[in-house]
Chains A and B, each alone.
Chain A
Amino acid sequence: MNAALPTQIHRAARKAIVTALAAALLCALGAIWNRPQFFQSWLVAWIFFTGISCGALVIVMMQSLTGGAWGVAVQRLAESAMLTLPLMALLFVPVLIGIHEVFPWSRADALAAHPKWQHKLGYLNPPFFALRGFFYFAVLSALAFFIRRWSVQQDKVVDGPSPGRRIRMLGAGGLVVYVLCMNFASTDWVMSLEPDWYSTIFVVIFMAGQFLTALALMTALLALFAGHKPFEGFITTKHFHDLGNLLLTFVIFWIYVSFSQFLIIWSGNLPKEISWYLHRSASCWKGVALFLMAFQFILPVGLLLLRGMKRHRERLGAIAALIVVVNIVNVYWLIAPAFHPEGLRIHWLDFATLIAVGGFWTALFLWFLNRQPLLPLHPGEGLRHV
């Protein structure tokens, strides 16, 4: 633990890539063994890590508009995370290969059983699905690329015009574009798993989860790195306090929108609408739902209300890490009941795909992290102070 932070990051990246390759090999074997299970598990892992990349992009764009010292502290972490978007586009390919195993609207037998789905095929068809997927990634990756480029340029500006204004303009427009992309992406990737069901607030739940996971991961990493140069001496209790307050806000926002959807569907009590919740509360899935309620809402809110928790580096880091891990369960609960509406069925491939996707993601994230100084040298105007 005595080595400099960049050296440690470099080592961790190498470990991540080795782990990822080993897990990918296992996944390949699993895909031969149990093809549907592999693609279903892959979708969960891929959605989870894509969510972190997208959430990080939102953090950077939002920070360019609002400013604040907390943003400067996590800026390079979030930038590196958003740059993994092209990798996630590459890992989207297995989803397309296994589309028939995962999305019922792409299977002839399921279509025959549900004649009404025929009307949805104008939108839900494999070529258009693939095209849309790559389009979202192209747009979001371009946003990430330009913001990073200008952010690196900003480091070199001593006197003269800073690209800060350009970052802000792109960030403002980019947030709108992101919401529009996610509106369709959440429909394509998650909601279309049960083609009869739809909810217009689902995209908000989806985005709240993405932002919450990304913010929690950045907070946990900052807590981990805070004792090392260049964070040491720069990161203060105030930074953690701000991040803790933001986490509290977004935990509450997540439950607020999640409950809004539940309340409306519960009040309406229509067979087509409640099916989604019936699948997600059948047998052991109910336990998963209660677990999410306890560990993604009650526990974090209870702890984050306490000032001492937010101002303490290790404690806040632990709470943030908990939120990240519980969000895996959250994504799993949103997706997997579509495959196993009769009850919870955990498969070893769920873990293998998570490690494989996560390993590649982590390796690329750490690689980008080491490419630039860990703290921006010249944060934009208005961002220097708390």
Chain B
Amino acid sequence: MNQNLYGMMAEFEHPEELLNAARAAHQAGYREMDAYSPFPVEGAAEAIGFERTRVPLVVLIGGITGAGVAYGMQYYSAVWDYPLNIGGRPLHSWPSFIPITFELTVLFAAVAAVFGMLLMNGLPKPYHPVFNVPAFKLASQTRFFLCLQASDPQFGDKTKHFLTSLNPIAVHEVES
């Protein structure tokens, strides 16, 4: 078998076929795989065995950090570093700290969501082997692809037969 193989990719015409193929592959024991489609296909993530994302946790940590930074910064400047008597109010006037705290919570959470999502997706990625398949450019137009990766222990000579049995338009070898 070709040592320089990244995986084996099947090309489909309809999203339902992609879903069925992904479920069949998961059933057959394949875990290292990815699906590519021109638009989001409902249920595709579940079909390739993707259960949970840790992005919400990153967002939560981002939000708590933002709240802590904002409140701490205001407390430090208003109470500790440069205390000013404003309208006779106590130095630690928490209601006036809330808007900034709220805004920075949202900002930090949103930034954490964007960058957490990108990093966990392994992006930015200047090179990806799937683009070695000439037909793959249709993945952003009309075709649906399922790629079983060579890193999967199940991967072997039988993989090509397995993918062919799913009735795709074509099965491509993906060079790494």
Contact = CB atoms under 8 A, between A and B. Distances in A.
Instruction: Please say whether chains A and B are actual partners in one complex.
Output: yes
A259 B96 contact: no
Interface string B50-61: 000000100010
Contact of B95 (A266, A305, A307): A266
A269 B56 CA distance: 40
B114 interface: no
A262 interface: yes
B41 interface: no
A267 interface: yes
Contacts of A267: 95-96
Nearest to B89: A269
A263 interface: yes
Given A262-B95, A263-B95, A269-B87, 5 more contacts: A259-B98, A263-B96, A263-B98, A263-B99, A386-B42
14 contacts: A259-B95, A259-B98, A262-B95, A263-B95, A263-B96, A263-B98, A263-B99, A266-B95, A267-B95, A267-B96, A269-B87, A305-B60, A307-B56, A386-B42
B49 to A, nearest CB: 18
Majority DSSP secondary structure for residues of A touching B: helix
B67 to A, nearest CB: 13
Nearest to A265: B95
Interface residues of B, number: 8
Most buried by A among B42, B95, B96, B98: B95
A306 to B, nearest CB: 10
B94 to A, nearest CB: 10
Interface bin, chain A = under 10
Nearest to A306: B56
Contacts of B87: 269
A199 to B, nearest CB: 16
A236 B42 CA distance: 15
B124 to A, nearest CB: 29
A298 to B, nearest CB: 13
A305 B56 CA distance: 10
A259 B97 CA distance: 12
Nearest to B99: A263
A262 B95 CA distance: 9
Interface string A253-276: 000000100110011010000000
Nearest to A266: B95
A295 to B, nearest CB: 19
Interface string B98-122: 1100000000000000000000000
Nearest to A260: B99
Contacts of A307: 56
Interface string B24-59: 000000000000000000100000000000001000
A65 to B, nearest CB: 23
Contacts of B95: 259, 262-263, 266-267
A142 B81 CA distance: 61
A385 B133 CA distance: 35
A19 to B, nearest CB: 43
A259 B96 CA distance: 11
Interface in A270-307: 305, 307
Q: Which 9 A-B pairs have the closest CB atoms?
A: A266-B95, A263-B95, A259-B98, A269-B87, A263-B98, A267-B96, A262-B95, A263-B99, A307-B56
